[in-house]
Amino acid sequence: MKKDSLNSEKLGFEALRDKETSKVALKKLCKEFQHNKLLNLYNENDMTRFLINVINTMLSMLGFQEELQLFHRKNFVMTLAVLFGIYGSVIAKFPDQKYIILFCVFGFFSCMITLLFIDYYSPCCGHSISFSQPSSISKKLSEYWIYNKEAYYMKISLDRPTAEMKFEITNTSCNVCTSVNVGKLFTENGYMSINSLFNIISKLLLDIWKVEKEQNSKKQL
């Protein structure tokens, strides 16, 4: 996500619920993407990447924060894999250090398998976008390695037979989704209808916020 959030004390869901702040975000979003054009409307991957880019920018403008714990884990494991690979193939000498080389080979492949497990057990597995309400630096550091239970994950998928684009937002307790015809998101020339997308995502965000709030209220009773 880009660091281009609004100059406002209201961030995240508060910014979204405030009409004035929401209008400013929409105006900035339209200005940034008004000249962007999707060259191939029949390429599902290009269309999805374009939508992800716009939605990520929208979330940043509203003050939501991207969830990066998955990348922290993967980067750490990849660093270990590189160290095993360099030591085993460059520094260690065969045959004098053959057991060290075998250990490095084992460590390297263990890291590769660990990467698969990180993806498999990640709560954002299969989702394109992850975000959460803004939090303090101390809270960020405390959750550096722990998956944020309050995070939200968004999945975008296209149903080719019906030309319906499905948007789904989920967290640990609930999920909401909606489907929209591609024709309402893009013009025939490949330009995106920013207003339509902004309204669709805004409604989804507010829906999951309301559902979550209702669930929390019931738990407190």
Q: In the predicted model, is pLDDT for residue 50 greater than 80?
A: yes
Radius of gyration of the chain (CA): 22
Examine the pLDDT at 17 and tell me if it is beyond 60. yes
Report the percentage of the chain scoring pLDDT > 90: 23
> Across-strand partners of 164?
159, 181
| Cβ proximity of 130 and 153 under 8 Å | yes
Mean pLDDT value of segment 182-210: 90
Q: How far does CA 137 lie from the centroid of its chain?
A: 20
CA triple 202-155-24, angle to 5 deg:
25
pTM greater than 0.85 (yes/no)? no
pLDDT tens for 147-175 read 667 788 888 988 888 889 999 998 878 88
| Virtual torsion, Cα 122, 65, 49, 123, nearest 10 deg | 10
Q: What is the pLDDT of residue 165?
A: 92
3 confidence band (pLDDT: 50, 70, 90): very low
Alpha carbon separation from 56 to 30, 100, 201 (Å, rounded): 14, 45, 11
Tell me: the pLDDT tens digits for 86-143?
888 877 777 777 888 889 899 999 998 988 877 776 666 656 788 887 766 666 666 6
Least confident of 140-144, 177-181, 190-194: 140-144
